[in-house]
Amino acid sequence: MAVLLFASALPACKSAPACPVQLRTDAASALSDHEANRARWHSLKAEARVTQWGSRGRIRGTVLLFLEQPNRVRFDVMTPVGPAAVLTSDGESFQLSDLREGTFLHGPTCPQNIARLLGVSVPAEQVLRLLTGDTPTIDAIERSMECRDGLYVVTLLAADGSTQEVVFSVMDGDQTKPPSEQRLNLRRSTERGPDGTTRWQATYDDYVDVDGQSFPTNVRFVDEANGADTAVRVKSISLDPQVPAGAFQQTPGPGMSIQFADCS
């Protein structure tokens, strides 16, 4: 009796989520299906709370985002009295207005310039993908796929020995569907160098449905190579809004110090 009482008092073990009844096994197909599903919107407007940890310590603020496929971005860093900084890129030209310092930076769109505000050193089109539940992938010579604890894990291997692990969950209600009909949500993407050192990792949580499409509202990007950590908590999202003319370009305001920003 004592043994039975002791056993009944133990906490129940929490079982891992089950894998789908019919498993996806083709890594390339899973990646292409997910990318095609993510690309069904043209433009996006959002408000987010952004926290960065980097060389300047912790920085927090509210950011208004305009994104337009494939590579147009606008970020307005807001304060209670108005914008403090505005970054724009039309895919080719880059501008950054620092309204607190009175400086206007302009130059080509490149990862180094994008990182001046976002702390994320990737091309503009990859910023757009990372913020909306997608991921860039390495040029792989080998791909494999398996299901672990209810999650699909895709492993990519590049010719130089670099690897990437891309982890997907299956959307609710799709666990019993055929593999080709299973919709996927990205949960984690990690790129590592040939020696196994992590270059960067992105994680995605708290997905919401917006007009029949799924978006993460909790995104975190850790850029190990540049010592930056950016967390984005999305407060609102609207799809295909009316984008104001000239939203992705800026001109310097009166009296601003104008500087050229190269990509070195």
Query: Which pLDDT band holds residue 115 (cuts at 50, 70, 90)?
Result: confident
Do residues 24 and 35 make contact, with C-beta atoms less than 8 angstroms apart? no
Please tell me the predicted confidence (pLDDT) of residue 112. 87
Domain assignment present for residue 246? The answer is no
Residue 252 class from Cβ within 10 Å (0-12 exposed, 13-18 middle, 19+ buried)? middle
Please tell me the predicted confidence (pLDDT) of residue 1. 40
The CATH number of the domain holding residue 117 is 2.50.20.10
DSSP structural state of residue 197:
-
Domain assignment present for residue 55? The answer is yes
Q: Of all residues in the chain, what percent carry a pLDDT higher than 70?
A: 92
Query: Which pLDDT band holds residue 119 (cuts at 50, 70, 90)?
Result: confident
Cα separation of 77 and 50, whole Å? 9
Domain assignment present for residue 244? The answer is no
Please tell me the predicted confidence (pLDDT) of residue 54. 64
Please tell me the predicted confidence (pLDDT) of residue 3. 39
Flag whether pLDDT at 176 surpasses 80.
Answer: yes
Domain assignment present for residue 48? The answer is yes
Domain assignment present for residue 82? The answer is yes
Nearest to 87 by CA among 53, 69, 51, 112: 112
Domain assignment present for residue 36? The answer is yes
Q: Give pTM, 2 decimals.
A: 0.85
The continuous run of DSSP H or E covering 9 comes out as: helix 2-9
Mean pLDDT of the chain: 89
Q: What is the mean pLDDT of residues 224-237?
A: 89
> Which residues constitute the domain of residue 64?
20-235
Q: What is the mean pLDDT of residues 26-55?
A: 89
Domain assignment present for residue 3? The answer is no
**What length is written for the chain?**
264
DSSP structural state of residue 244:
P
Total domains in the chain come to 1
The pairing of beta strand 103-108 with beta strand 257-260:
parallel
Cα separation of 66 and 63, whole Å? 10
Which of the residue ranges 25-39, 180-194, 204-218 would you say has the lowest mean pLDDT?
A: 25-39
Cα separation of 18 and 255, whole Å? 61
Q: Which residues, in sequence order, are bridge partners of residue 201?
A: 190, 222
Cβ neighbors of 162 (< 8 A, separation 6 or more) are 138, 191, 192, 193, 194, 199
Please tell me the predicted confidence (pLDDT) of residue 9. 45
Nearest to 201 by CA among 249, 164, 153: 164
Domain assignment present for residue 62? The answer is yes
